[in-house]
Amino acid sequence: MMYLIEFYSYNYFMKNRLKPHTPISNVFIDSSLKLTKEKIVLSFVVKGLLSEYIFQKKHKLQRLDELWKETCFELLLAGDNEVYYELNFSPSFAWNFYVLQSYRAEPKELEILEEASIKYEKKNDEFRIYFELKVKELNFEQFTHYNLATILLNKEKKRTFWAINHLKEQPDFHDRESFLEII
């Protein structure tokens, strides 16, 4: 469910509550996304019984692949053509930003980036993570749709999948039908 969208001169601000793919009643995830001419700012707030989930320890800020294998936070951005972008980051301070030429095509790492920052705070029943990415030469006006998603790895090493919408029997964050329109 979308809570708020504002538009003013290349600035977009969206807030969403993510839904689990399979019912989970002891955790809730809220997200926010801000796009400006120069940066992407994301935050996710996970509330509930966090002792059942694994949040990786901080390491150094670095670009890595396959973050989805553990607890990970994601943004997908798309325009009117088949090309779309995927941004992933984790509590370990690993992150990456890709462009895909079509649905689930081989991701290609973007090199048009300037600076990334990840911060988080964890309390007994609340985990907040913030990601900021300064970019150059990425025209945010081209984006018409987005999806926000999270994978939480539980203590039994099973992944739970959260997104704005789930329209298929299997979790699929890349399914354009589940994206929301940027207005």
In 71-172, where do the E strands start and end? 72-78, 84-89, 94-100, 108-109, 113-123, 126-135, 145-154, 159-163
For the segment 2-31, the average pLDDT, to the nearest whole number, is 78
pLDDT of 170 > 70? The answer is: yes
Q: How confident is the model at residue 38 (pLDDT cuts 50, 70, 90)?
A: confident
pLDDT of 1 > 60? The answer is: no
What's the domain count of the chain?
1
Determine the 3-state secondary structure of 157 from DSSP: coil
The string of pLDDT tens digits covering residues 59-115 is 999 999 999 999 999 999 999 999 999 999 999 999 999 999 999 999 999 987 788
CA distance 102 to 82: 5
pTM beyond 0.85 = yes
Residue 136 sits in a domain whose CATH number is: 2.60.40
DSSP, res 143: -
pLDDT for res 115: 85
The string of pLDDT tens digits covering residues 41-50 is 999 999 999 9
pLDDT for res 136: 78
pLDDT of 5 > 70? The answer is: no
pLDDT of 8 > 90? The answer is: no
pLDDT for res 70: 97
DSSP, res 105: P
The string of pLDDT tens digits covering residues 118-145 is 999 999 899 999 999 998 777 888 899 9
Residue range(s) defining the domain that contains residue 90? 2-181
- Round the average pLDDT of the chain to a whole number and report it: 91
pLDDT for res 111: 84
Q: Which of 176, 141, 163 is nearest to 7 (CA)?
A: 141
Quote the percentage of the chain above a pLDDT of 70: 95
